[in-house]
Structure 1
């Protein structure tokens, strides 16, 4: 079926009001599309969306000449455009904090991996950190009190820092609404339960209240939930990570302002406290968790199915506190005030998936953030709009295309070249009911 001619008056339906959905809605409205409608089962910001977070890392670096390949060039193109948006777009610029970024490791294997893949002495402004005192000097006195056993790192202060993801997403949503985008959120009205097909094409969606939403074009941008609506032929694997917050006094929060991001490739990372609640967010680093269940409706296939939970496994809490003992031991035993699991969708090669569907010409897929989606918020919607209009630049198109061929023999338990913990992908099915934190009123089990 040949899709309708795309015009400013074409009806465009976006499934998902998260980071990429809101960005796509904003860019389409800015391009003059007058009939854009976004559906999501939750109000913005979604409590299960990866972008509903106080902070995310934003880092852009040019590629080492020895490591230039199609995927790395495409990713650099995306992050370069995102950085420009974070610095110049008034919808997003208030939420970018260019405080710098420290990448580090604490085993010889990881340190060599960083040197080989991350650091180019001919580019950037990297400063080598060789001792615990070197690390301490990157922050105000009394912040980094740990011994940093075996740590080596590199500090860059340019084009890197953190973003307030939640506020940026709400800003994009607010501006898109101002420009005329319609949002239907909440369950059942905004919860898409099925795509609608007619004459071999997608012609809209059905929501949980039974409403059929017809559209000339549909954009599927539902993050980790996308593969519940479409067969991605193993291209997506919903994967979760773990985060927690530590409460701080207003005085402490002021002392910790404008800190560079401290990221250990196999231990974890943190950045400055949230300015509203005065909470310090810490993430333990690991290859991720899946929730593998048997899909009885699909020949017994095993797949990872996302779920929401404002707790983390006790093993994740233990990893977090171990990271703190090496960096900020004065905070290592402080009770957590909040924790949750955070879902994203991994592609096989961790490149994004943004393309017209090869069988359904009116359907655009915009998924596969692979742990790097939130930082793309200012510009990713423009690339999604380009894919809809059929003018995505070649260096991107060949990398982010629909590519089930590389997923045929996919190893669902691949670490995807991530490190930390036991250096294995973990399964929430292996976490017993009593092996989760129980965080309420600032109390945790450890």
Structure 2
């Protein structure tokens, strides 16, 4: 089937108002498309969106000569464009903090992995950190009080730092609305329950209130929920990570401002306190959690099905506190003020998936952030728009194509090159009801 001609008047429907959905809406509106509607079951910022977060890591590294494979080149192309957006686009630049990033490890195996795959001093301004005192010197006195047992790291002060993901997403949403994009959010009006199939193509979506939203082109950018609306042939695995906050006094928050991100690839990371609530975010690092159930959407096959919870397993809290004991033991026993699980979607090779569907020419998929989606916010919508217009640059097009051949007999338990925790993918089905934190309340259904 031949899709309709794409014009400025074409009706474009975007499913998902998270990081990528808002970015796509903004870029399409900037290109002059006049009829754009975005659907989402929650108001922006959605409580279940991965980008609804006080901070995310942002860093750009050029590709090492020894790693110039197509996937690495494509990823560097994306982060280079994102960095430019974070620095120059007024919609996003207020929310980028170029404080630098420390990448570190604390076992010989992990340290060697970083040397071989993460660090190239010839192509960046890296400062080696060989002992606890070196780490402490990267931050004001009294911040890093730990012993850093066995740690070695590299500090990159340029083209790296953190982004206020939530504020950036709201900024993109606000500007897209100003440019005429229509957002229909909340349940049931914005909750998509199915795609509309007509004459061998996709012609829009139906929401929970029974409304059929017709479109010339549909963009599926619903993050971890995308797999529930379309058969991705096992290309997507919803995977979750865990984060928590501890409260700081205004005086402490001021002392902890403008700190570099401290990231141990097998232990966890932290960034400076949120300027609004004075809460310090800590994440324990691990290969991720899945929620493996028999999924009726896929003929009862075992699949990871996302759910939302503003709590984390007690084992994740313990790992976060272990990370603090090695870096900032003076904070390690403070009560948690907030916690949540944060879903993303892994492709088999952790490359993005941005392509026209091979069977439904009017459907574009824009999914598979694979842990690196939020940092792409200023520019990913431009690449999505390029794919819709059929002019995505070749070095990206080959890598982010629809590629079910990579998922044949997929190992759902693959760690996908990640470390930490028990060094395996964990299953929320193994976490008992009494093995979760109890911080306030708040559970959201997808």
Smaller-chain TM-score bracket: over 0.9
State the match for 1:444 in structure 2. none
Higher mean displacement: 250-259 or 120-129: 120-129
Report deviation, 1:297: 5.1
State the match for 1:186 in structure 2. 186
For 1:177 and 1:121, locate their aligned partners in 2 and report how far apart those are by CA, in whole Å: 43
User: Are 1:350 and 2:342 an aligned pair?
Assistant: no
Large movers: runs of 4+ above 4 Å: none
For 1:415 and 1:297, locate their aligned partners in 2 and report how far apart those are by CA, in whole Å: 24
State the match for 2:237 in structure 1. 237
Question: How is 1:42-191 mapped onto 2 (pairs within 5 angstroms)?
Answer: 42-191=42-191
Deviations 1:292-312 (A, max 9, x none): 000245332001111110100
For 1:236 and 1:344, locate their aligned partners in 2 and report how far apart those are by CA, in whole Å: 10
Deviations 1:90-140 (A, max 9, x none): 000000000000000000000000000011121110000001000000000
For 1:297 and 1:94, locate their aligned partners in 2 and report how far apart those are by CA, in whole Å: 41
Deviations 1:333-386 (A, max 9, x none): 000000000000000000000000000000000000000000000000000000
Report deviation, 1:49: 0.3
Report deviation, 1:329: 0.0
Question: How is 1:356-371 mapped onto 2 (pairs within 5 angstroms)?
Answer: 356-371=356-371
2:295 and 2:305 in contact (8 A); partners too: no
For 2:225 and 2:422, locate their aligned partners in 1 and report how far apart those are by CA, in whole Å: 27
For 1:168 and 1:191, locate their aligned partners in 2 and report how far apart those are by CA, in whole Å: 23
For 1:168 and 1:419, locate their aligned partners in 2 and report how far apart those are by CA, in whole Å: 29
Report deviation, 1:439: 1.4
For 1:204 and 1:437, locate their aligned partners in 2 and report how far apart those are by CA, in whole Å: 40
For 1:148 and 1:295, locate their aligned partners in 2 and report how far apart those are by CA, in whole Å: 43
Aligned-residue RMSD, C-alpha: 0.7
For 2:94 and 2:57, locate their aligned partners in 1 and report how far apart those are by CA, in whole Å: 15
For 2:297 and 2:435, locate their aligned partners in 1 and report how far apart those are by CA, in whole Å: 30
Question: How is 1:187-336 mapped onto 2 (pairs within 5 angstroms)?
Answer: 187-296=187-296, 298-336=298-336
Unaligned runs of 5+ in 2: 442-446
2:87 and 2:93 in contact (8 A); partners too: yes
User: Are 1:26 and 2:26 an aligned pair?
Assistant: yes
Report deviation, 1:440: 2.9
2:325 and 2:332 in contact (8 A); partners too: yes
State the match for 1:403 in structure 2. 403
State the match for 2:39 in structure 1. 39
Unaligned runs of 5+ in 1: 442-446
For 1:285 and 1:39, locate their aligned partners in 2 and report how far apart those are by CA, in whole Å: 32
Q: Taking structure 1 as the reference length, what is the TM-score of the superposition?
A: 0.98
1:213–1:120 distance in 2 versus 1, CA, 3 Å:
same
